[in-house]
Amino acid sequence: MKAAGSMQGKLGLGVALTAVAGAAHALAEPWQLNMTPGVTQTSREVYDLHMWGLYVCIAIGVVVFGAMIVAMFKFRKSKGAVPATWSHNTVAETIWTIVPILILVALAWPATNIMIKMAYTEQSDMTVKITGYQWKWGYDYLNVGEKPYHVHFISRIDPRSDRTRELRSGQDPWAVKDKDYQGVERNTYLLDVDHPLVLPTDTKIRFVVTGDDVIHAWWVPQLGWKQDAIPGIINDDWTNIHEPGIYRGQCAELCGQDHGFMPIVVKAVPKAEFTKWLDEQEALATKADAPAAPAASPTATPSAP
Amino acid sequence: MTTHATAHHDDHHDDKPHGFLHRWVYSTNHKDIGTLYLIFSFIMVCIGAAFSGVIRTELMKPGLQFVQPYFFNEMTTMHGLVMIFGAIMPSFVGLANWMIPMMIGAPDMALPRMNNWSFWILPFAFCLLLGTLFVPGGAPAGGWTMYPPLSIQGGDSVAMMVFAIHLMGISSIMGSINIIATILNMRAPGMDLLKMPVFVWSWLITAFLLIAVMPVLAGAVTMLLTDRYFGTSFFNAAGGGDPVMYQHIFWFFGHPEVYIMILPAFGIISEIVPTFSRKPLFGYQAMVYALASIAFLSFIVWGHHMFTVGMPLGGELYFMFATMLIAIPTGVKVFNWVSTMWGGSLTFEAPMLWAIAFIVLFTIGGFSGVMLALVPADFQYQDTYFVVAHFHYVLVTGALFAIIGAIYYWWPKWTGRMYNETWAKVHFWWSAVFVNVLFFPQHFLGLAGMPRRIPDYNVAFADWNFVSTIGAYGMYLTPFMFFFILWHSKKHGAPAAARAWEGAHGLEWTVPSPAPFHTFSTPPVIRDEDLAHGDVSH
């Protein structure tokens, strides 16, 4: 992303150092095995739940597969094992019906708590509308606090990725690089856009998500959730990003031929910087709109491209 | 039961129809129709694998090297439809045709002509479906789930796909009616319901699931058809419809469908494990009740396929809790299989190897299933390769491994010849290694953030995709191995005894190998020690 380089110069050293800690989170690493904890409270809780589920499954696996392995070595006919004739054990059967119920409660309990928190979209500081199109994303900044905004733009895959991804383009996906938030060159093939979604840190941001043509899904793994973008339906979600950075995602619902080529980039910047940026955009948007629509409608719905 | 008397009696009736047309096209014999189903599904497995070959080859390296993205989507869609409706389901019906009459002491299926028809619809259905590859606009490319509005953006393929699914549905419903009628009416005297082999039980329950949900799928795709061609707006928001309603209807079919593809596999494993453990099936009645519980639960958990559509909190909580309940009866089954092995006298012929691999790898698929049930975690997993890994563990190392195990298990009964055990073990170990090389890394890809159904990806995903493709190429050799082993056995295999496996129980092992063209023209006398599971008191 082009803005990343200039962004970095504006950052204080302290912010830069804080962000380095989260640098590894911003993009998947080669040979990566696991989910990353992400950059919000929610995403960390989701990550912890994922790990809890994984550990529980591993523990059950050790017991069940362990018993199988023991049986396979101990009760071999070639070792002269004589088959038993029993086929029933009430105590064992009761135990392995009750214990799984307890395990499931231990999984469902934290999951329920997180769900209740994730569903609470009220008391947000600002609202952004996300619209999925074949094959690009539309972003509308609706309000910050009480103040309405009219900033609207379309976010498409960056031209370099777009050229490289053509069939037999002859261009090298490994060569598509850009500086990340910390100024480190990283591969951004298919994960970069022309206009990123700029968001403030430490702000409860409510998203309203919809689709214009077919169903898409808006997903930035670092935020900890994805949401289907469905024509005729408006879903809402929220996030609160704690670390400034550039977070990348992709459309996650099959939406046609270029489903794989509608990336999402969230650029989280400190609040003051965000307000400055948004006010600049607002000035541009209202200036552009003024002659065309002197009696602008108060709903300020941006037109689709 | 008097084996020799029955065999002698059957000899008089072993008059197979002459000529290819009469023998196979006009066939009303459950064994021949079973064979037709199995051959059909073998061909479909190969076609479905070829489609996956396009997918895995394109995904081997970042960048698009071979196909356009739209054709890639056609391949993912067709791979799903062919494997589910063409490979897994018909092969289970084939096994049902072959084995259910022999296992319950019936001379044939209850409705032999309908049996013929339910098979012969399938080739037409799949000509229609595969024909979409050659029409303008290409094959369906909206995913096997056919979500509107995307799925009705296609060309002529939409109508062909819908009609093909109607035909498959008719075939499945007729097959199910036949299976239910056979099991409920044609059991030999003394073969009480709770003495039936678990495989028969699993199919009885599966058949009811099919009858319940195939019409729902037919309704859903018919609404797609009228939305596409007749201007209705069932799923069109602009006309007052609701795209999410399709997903609810589809998954009301789709989740029972998942169990339609695994319950018969549970039945197969419950036959194979006691045989090679030489010990009665542990907790026979619990196994039957677990099957029934899973079938019941399958109707009330469909929402877990749609956690990201924006259901209300209460709905998501309900579907999460209900889904997690499935782990309990499924756990009972796994524990019972392990307990069947415990204290037995185990040998590891090919069917047992496939069954053990099933238990381990299906359970891994079950683990990822439990993780997927946790809604907040599902918000991350949904529509990623983690899901792809999950359902391939339950469908390939689950359903398909059980089918292969069943074919090795009953092959001596069908053909009267043993297969080459060494080659069968090579086939098994080759598959067991490569299937994990193929699918296990897909868990990592999903967790690292790779969405499913994309033809190209960021270079961070390159390594595991390469590994996965190597695994796929290894798996593509296995149909050839399997075919060679079975062909060699048919030509040169050692003769099989009536009871081909030392520990085998069940009526099918009381008739000669190969099973005569007509079996049980007079009902056998049921003795408890002939029953497959060995103990009916629990």
Is A257–B65 a contact, with Cβ atoms under 8 angstroms apart?
A: no
Average pLDDT in the B319-345 region?
A: 96
Average pLDDT in the B120-139 region?
A: 96
Average pLDDT in the A238-253 region?
A: 96
- pLDDT at A14 exceeding the cut of 80: no
Selected for mutation to probe chain A from B150, B275, B337, B380 (highest A CB count within 10 Å) is B380
Q: Which residues pair with A147 in a beta bridge?
A: A144
Instruction: Note the pLDDT of residue B113.
Output: 96
Q: pLDDT band for A17, please (50, 70, 90 cuts).
A: very low
Active site residue B431: no
Q: What is the mean pLDDT of chain B?
A: 94
Position with higher pLDDT, B312 vs B534: B312
Average pLDDT in the B87-109 region?
A: 97
Q: Considering CB atoms only, which of B153, B278, B338 is closest to A64?
A: B338
Average pLDDT in the A19-28 region?
A: 52
Instruction: Note the pLDDT of residue B532.
Output: 72
Average pLDDT in the A144-172 region?
A: 95
- pLDDT at B186 exceeding the cut of 80: yes
Average pLDDT in the B461-485 region?
A: 97
- pLDDT at B319 exceeding the cut of 50: yes
Instruction: Note the pLDDT of residue A287.
Output: 83
- Domains of chain A by residue range: 41-119, 126-157+193-289
- Residues of chain A positioned with their CB less than 8 A from the CB of B501: none
Secondary structure (H, E, C), B238-264: HHCCCHHHHHHHHHHHHHHHHHHCCHH
Active site residue B147: no
pLDDT digits (tens, 9 = 90+) for B257-270: 999 999 999 999 99
Active site residue B227: no
**Which listed residue (B257, B349, B378, B508) is catalytic?**
B257
Q: pLDDT band for B17, please (50, 70, 90 cuts).
A: confident
- pLDDT at A8 exceeding the cut of 60: no
pLDDT digits (tens, 9 = 90+) for B414-461: 999 999 999 999 999 999 999 999 999 999 999 999 999 999 999 999
Q: What is the CATH number of domain A126-157+193-289?
A: 2.60.40.420
- pLDDT at A124 exceeding the cut of 60: yes
Tokens describing residue B165: 């699914």
Is A83–B327 a contact, with Cβ atoms under 8 angstroms apart?
A: no
**Which listed residue (B157, B330, B340, B468) is catalytic?**
B330
Is A50–B380 a contact, with Cβ atoms under 8 angstroms apart?
A: yes
Active site residue B79: yes
Instruction: Note the pLDDT of residue A181.
Output: 86
Eight-class DSSP state of B152: G
Average pLDDT in the B379-406 region?
A: 97
Yes or no: say if B498 and B512 are a contact pair by the CB < 8 Å rule: yes
**Which listed residue (B24, B203, B251, B259) is catalytic?**
B259
Helix boundaries (H) for B230-374: 243-260, 263-277, 284-298, 313-325, 327-341, 350-373
- pLDDT at A305 exceeding the cut of 70: no
**Which listed residue (B151, B171, B384, B510) is catalytic?**
B171
| ipTM, 2 dp | 0.93
Q: Specify the range with the lowest mean pLDDT, choosing from A253-267, B318-332, B522-536.
A: B522-536
Average pLDDT in the A124-147 region?
A: 96
- Cα nearest neighbour of A35 on chain B: B447
Average pLDDT in the B274-288 region?
A: 94
- Cα nearest neighbour of B237 on chain A: A232
- pLDDT at A190 exceeding the cut of 50: yes
Yes or no: say if A265 and A155 are a contact pair by the CB < 8 Å rule: yes
pLDDT digits (tens, 9 = 90+) for A207-234: 999 999 999 999 999 999 999 999 999 9
Radius of gyration of chain B (CA): 23
CATH class of the structural domain A41-119: mainly alpha
Q: Chain B: nearest CA to A189, how far in angstroms?
A: 5
- Residues of chain A positioned with their CB less than 8 A from the CB of B339: 89, 92
Other beta carbons within 10 angstroms of residue A102's beta carbon come to 8
Q: Considering CB atoms only, which of B69, B454, B459 is closest to A174?
A: B459
* Percent of chain B whose pLDDT exceeds 90: 92
Q: What is the mean pLDDT of chain A?
A: 87
Residue B435 and residue B437: Cα distance in Å, rounded? 5
Active site residue B12: no
Residue B215 and residue B222: Cα distance in Å, rounded? 10
- pLDDT at B5 exceeding the cut of 50: no
Q: Which residue has the tokens 């959730």?
A: A225
Instruction: Note the pLDDT of residue B155.
Output: 86
Eight-class DSSP state of A294: T
Q: Which residues pair with A238 in a beta bridge?
A: A206
